[in-house]
Amino acid sequence: MTVSQAIGLCSTLRLIEPDPVHYDEQFAYLLAALSEVSPVVEAAELGLVYVGGDGLEGIYGGNHKIVDAIMSCVRRATCGVENDMSIATRRTPHAARVGWGVGKFTAWVAASRAKPSEAVVVPLGEERNFLAPQPIAVLPLDTDTHRRLRRLGIRTLGALATLPEAAITAQFGAVGRRLWQLAAGRVVEPVQGRVEPEPIAAALSFFSPVGERELLVHALDQLIARALKHPRRIGWRVHALRVRAELEGGGSWLTAHLLKEPTADAGRIAAPLRTRLELSPPVGGVERLVLEFTGFAPGTTELQLFARDAQAAARAGQQRALRSAAREIRMRVKGEGGRAVLYHIIEVQPWSRLPERRYALIDYEP
């Protein structure tokens, strides 16, 4: 349904702008809370998390106790209440659905069958019985395969699993084989614990909201250059990044990218961001722009990349020397009221017609 159709049906409809930064933060709270239950937490996508339960029986008890612990965590993360669970439940029941089963697929199907703020537990050995009546739509299908399966009269996982594996493979190839294995409960995909990244962030606050695309691109280029110079980046190429913008009037804008080839090249990092700005720019003036490198890949043996890392190492050497010099200057010169005496000039709005808005001083922290 389009917005205009919705307004046509309900004239008092109140439209709420999406706030992806808020969603992202809430999801981060959820991940942090879940990591207290299990050290193995895999964030599959926004709103979908797998929690590894192997070995937790000794801490919590049986499966139901582990599920209870997860539900408490979810409630705490989504309601923001630390101690009083009964109050949290009464006031704002969370909408999260929890599924427990062997392997990620079974757990996901179980969660998708659960009611909001409830859990479905599939006991060990019951996977096949549980999966059999489920519709084939729960499989990771493309529309064409889905249509073909329905035309063959296959509407449930059980119907698919009763067919010979070889026949499905012959009809649908490797994809079909995987679907058959999932439907038959033959695939047990373990939860992959996430590697804790140490993101590198660079931010820029504008004196007045900026809406022009080319100005945002310019600001992004600066942020990328700053983030690439960070000493923590030495020996690492950027693999995942995201940019968030705080908009005038309270909204936000977020874009996250996983680079096909990890890189330390500013141009290659900027390319997807430029495209995103072209295709769907922020819907309002940007007050603050934050770039984060959230995922990294180690440097390779390629000479070019080594050269880049050598440059990064040289920069780190300069950085150390600067840090030492800055420390000495601070010891010798005291600013008014203990304020910093060393500042760094940064471009803020170099395009501004008002000279005082073009550059700014920021505390210098080498």
Partner 1 sequence: MVTPARAPLRTDRLRAVNEPQLVTVELDDSGAPAAVGRLGGSAVGRIECINETWRIDDEWWRQIISRLYYEVMLEGGKRVVLLQDLITSNWFIQYP
Residues that bind partner 1 (CB under 8 A): 19, 21-22, 25-26, 29, 79-80, 203, 205, 207-208, 246, 250, 252, 287-288, 343, 345-346, 348, 353-363
Q: What angle do CA 24, 28, 34 make, to 5 degrees?
A: 145
Nearer to partner 1, 19 or 221 (CB): 19
Nearer to partner 1, 92 or 181 (CB): 92
Nearer to partner 1, 182 or 291 (CB): 291
- DSSP state for residue 283 in the 8-state scheme: S
DSSP state string for 292-324: EEEEEEE--S-HHHHHHHHHHHHHHHHHHHHHH
Based on C-alpha coordinates, what's the Rg of the chain? 26
Give min distance, CB of 241 to partner 1, in A. Answer: 18
CA distances from 177 to 18, 131, 154, 160, 170 (A): 39, 17, 15, 11, 9
Give min distance, CB of 354 to partner 1, in A. Answer: 7
Nearer to partner 1, 127 or 287 (CB): 287
Q: Residue 107 phi/psi, 5° resolution?
A: -65, -40
Give min distance, CB of 205 to partner 1, in A. Answer: 5
Give min distance, CB of 186 to partner 1, in A. Answer: 42
Nearer to partner 1, 79 or 266 (CB): 79
Give min distance, CB of 363 to partner 1, in A. Answer: 6
Q: Mapping DSSP to helix (H, G, I), strand (E, B) and coil, where does residue 255 land?
A: strand
Nearer to partner 1, 56 or 216 (CB): 216
Give min distance, CB of 25 to partner 1, in A. Answer: 6
Task: Identify whether the C-beta of residue 182 lies closer than 8 Å to the C-beta of residue 168.
Answer: no
Nearer to partner 1, 329 or 362 (CB): 362
Give min distance, CB of 347 to partner 1, in A. Answer: 10
Q: Residue 362 phi/psi, 5° resolution?
A: -135, 145
CA torsion sign for 52, 55, 56, 57 is positive
* 123 closest CA partner among 101, 108, 98: 101
* Residue 176 host element (H or E): helix 165-183
